[in-house]
Structure 1
Amino acid sequence: MDVRPGREGSLLDAALRAPLLAREEEYELARRWREAGDQQALHALVRSHMRLAMSIARRFRHYGLPVSDLEQEGHVGLLEAAARFDTAHEVRFSTYATWWIRASIQDYVLRNWSIVRGGTSSGQKSLFFNLRRVRAALERAHGGAGAPLLREEMQRSIATALGVEPGEVARMDARLHAPDLSLNATLGAGDEEGSERMEHLVATGPLPDEEVSSQIDGERRGRWLRSALRALNEREMRIIKARRLSEEGETLDSLGARLGISKERVRQIESRAIEKLRIALTKGPGVPRGAFGPA
């Protein structure tokens, strides 16, 4: 059903021309659509409720989006409701369609209100569409307007009313009060005039050449260590791996019990193995002095 201007007149004209339906007429149109796939019945059901979609759409006009776009999204929700309506629910079609219309418009608002995607969870959606209303009601109850950023007491009250965490309330309120800033926008007067915001972002991570250098050094140290480990005998290797090369080093007691020796003997073998590794690493070919820390 196309109601764009130039086809069947404006959306408003089409809505005003559509007749209102009685319950029995709604159910008959829905039955013809569900049982016989009658497209004319589907369109008649939608046309009769277009003014409902337009009325709901206008409630969202304060989000700064074109009303015509909101009305079109409401029409999309209305079509979805008409396609899914089942007379077994025993409710008027307008009651059933209201939910679909509102959901379609809310999704559109969330996608287009800001260039930053938000409101992905049900709690965040509830915050986005109800934060101003609940805050205004609380301010009226306390006899005055609050600060631009919510006070802690009000955050807790709104969080309780909407079933979310106070921290989510604070973050959403900050988003609603802060406009989007493009990183490609040029700066105004000053030393940086004419440059883009992106050019002045400070990178806290290492530079690419530092990352590559660190990776190469790490691979080189790994080769040196594997070569040095060949100087150890089997028992020394087991102790070094268990004590020094595992995520959580094994204790002397548990390692001694597993090897059938005392914890003091484990400590002695470990010390001897570490000394062998130090000698092998510092005397290995091409190993710079201090590559593995002080001897």
Structure 2
Amino acid sequence: MNTAFALPVPTGHGSLEQYIHTVNNIPMLSPEEEQDLAVRQTEGDLEAAKKLILSHLRVVVSIARGYDGYGLNQADLIQEGNIGLMKAVKRFQPSRGVRLFSFAVHWIKAEIHEFILRNWRLVRVATTKPQRKLFFNLRSMRKSMAALSNKEAQSIADDLGVKLSEVLEMEQRMTGKDMSLLAENDDEDNFAPIDWLTDSSNEPTQVLAQQAHYALQTDGLQTALAKLDERSRHIVESRWLADDGGLTLHDLAGEYGVSAERIRQIEAKAMQKLRGYLAEAE
């Protein structure tokens, strides 16, 4: 779909709440209005497509808010959902007799899921369709906040078509908590895990290993970045290496005068090249 028209977008430097307020004040369409616009959109009417998208931006916000627990930027989640909404509008056929809302939910969630899986580093097992289904459904399938029993875990595994071990591993990843190495107070009778740890930081082979690792993470990364073309390097640095939290896809799309989808494609290709360069360095 040609997306040359301007849409309100959440940005990393603007007010997300203002964006949400704006889209929530865009009037919803009646079934008759939606039907008319959908027919016109299939005939190539860009203005009709724009009205369909604008009237459903609040739906994207509502869905994106359901993914707060993954620790990712809310503006990015909404932007990804908006891309899914635009894909849904492009494919929507009013003759099917369903409302755009029902049709678009799948496309919106699909884009958000892909974004989370690309960027949430803890997720290593969600590589197949059943495992992805496990990742996004485990929390809702739990009967309580208590740890899963083997019986409950086996039931979930059977329902989703995955192994029991995969359910237990995902459960551990998603519910595991950090343990403090230090005691809660300075009482000399208190012991903490750190009291049983040995300090190997000054051991010669450990020092050399740390120095090599640091060089790889600093000099190696800079060398790898230098191998990218200027635009790709700027996108990666602006998105992931900036001190202020980084720019969003739409921030960079506005800077380069292209779509957010194009920026995402450039970023994905650049990250793939970087991983290859760093693997060679190791």
* TM-score (normalised: structure 1): 0.54
Aligned partners of 2:77, 2:8: CA distance in 1, in Å?
Answer: 14
Aligned counterpart, 1:158? 156
Give the distance between the partners of 1:44 and 1:193, measured in 2 at CA: 65
2:46 matches 1:39 = yes
C-alpha distance in structure 1 between counterparts of 2:208 and 2:136, whole Å: 31
Quote how far apart the aligned CAs of 1:155 are: 2.1
Aligned mates of 1:12, 1:81 — CA distance in 2: 21
C-alpha displacement of 1:117 = 4.7
Conserved in 2, the CA contact under 8 Å of 1:14 and 1:47?
no
Residue 162 of structure 1, CA deviation: 2.4
After superposition, the Cα gap between the structure-2 partners of 1:189 and 1:155, relative to the gap in structure 1 and judged at 3 Å, is same
In the TM superposition, residue 30 of structure 1 has moved relative to its aligned partner by 1.4
The answer on whether the counterparts of 1:26 and 1:45 sit within 8 Å (CA) in structure 2 is yes
Sequence identity, in percent? 38
The partner residue of 2:200 within 174, 191, 195 is 191
Aligned twin of 2:37: 29
Query: What is the Cα-based RMSD across aligned positions, in Å?
Result: 3.2
Quote how far apart the aligned CAs of 1:168 are: 1.9
Gaps in structure 1 of 5+ consecutive residues: 140-144, 181-187, 201-295
Structure-2 change in CA distance of 1:92 and 1:115 (3 Å):
same
Corresponding residue for residue 165 of structure 2: 167
* Residues 59 and 116 (structure 1), Cα distance of their counterparts in 2 relative to 1, 3 Å cut: closer
Deviation at 1:167, TM superposition (A): 2.2
Which piece of structure 1 moves more, 87-96 or 107-116? Answer: 107-116
| Structure-2-length-normalised TM-score | 0.56
Equivalent residue pairs, number: 182
1:129 Cα deviation (Å)?
Answer: 1.1
- Equivalent pair of 2:10/2:75 in contact (CA under 8 Å): no
Q: Judging changes above 3 Å, is the alpha-carbon distance between structure 1 residues 154 and 16 closer, same or farther for their aligned structure 2 residues?
A: closer
How far apart, CA to CA, are the structure 1 residues paired with 2:24 and 2:153? Answer: 44
Q: What are the equivalent positions in structure 2 for 1:6-85 lying under 5 Å apart?
A: 10-35=18-43, 37-85=44-92
Equivalent AA in structure 2 for residue 166 of structure 1: L
Aligned-pair CA distance for 1:176? 2.6
* Superposed CA offset, 1:161-187 (max 9, x none): 32322122123223334699xxxxxxx
Computing the radius of gyration from Cα coordinates, the structure with the larger value is 1
Deviation sequence 1:108-133 (CA, Å, 0-9, x none): 11111216554222211111011122
1:11 Cα deviation after fit:
2.9
5 Å matches for 1:209-288? Answer: none
* 2:122–2:173 CA contact under 8 A, matched in 1: no
8 Å Cα contact 1:111/1:117 also seen in 2: no
Q: Contact conserved, 2:27 with 2:55, CA < 8 A, in 1?
A: yes
Q: Is the counterpart of residue 106 in structure 1 residue 104 in structure 2?
A: no
Q: Does the CA contact (< 8 Å) of 2:10 and 2:79 recur in 1?
A: no
Relative to structure 1, the CA distance from residue 106 to residue 11 in structure 2 (aligned partners, 3 Å threshold; closer, same or farther) is same
Q: Give distance in 2, aligned partners of 1:100 and 1:192.
A: 50
Give me the whole-angstrom Cα distance separating, in 2, the residues matched to 1:118 and 1:14: 38
SS at match of 2:200: coil
Structure with greater contact order relative to length (CA < 8 Å, sep ≥ 6): 2
2:139 alignment partner AA: R
Q: Which whole-Å deviations, capped at 9, do the CAs of 1:184-218 have from their partners, x for residues lacking one?
A: xxxx9822269689769xxxxxxxxxxxxxxxxxx
> How far, CA to CA, are the matches of 1:116 and 1:130 in structure 2?
14
Deviations along 1:265-292, one digit per CA (max 9) or x if unpaired, are xxxxxxxxxxxxxxxxxxxxxxxxxxxx
Aligned partner letter, 2:34? E
Partner SS, residue 20 of structure 1: coil
What are the ranges of 5 or more consecutive residues in structure 2 without an aligned counterpart?
1-5, 179-196, 212-282
Deviations 1:204-242 (A, max 9, x none): xxxxxxxxxxxxxxxxxxxxxxxxxxxxxxxxxxxxxxx
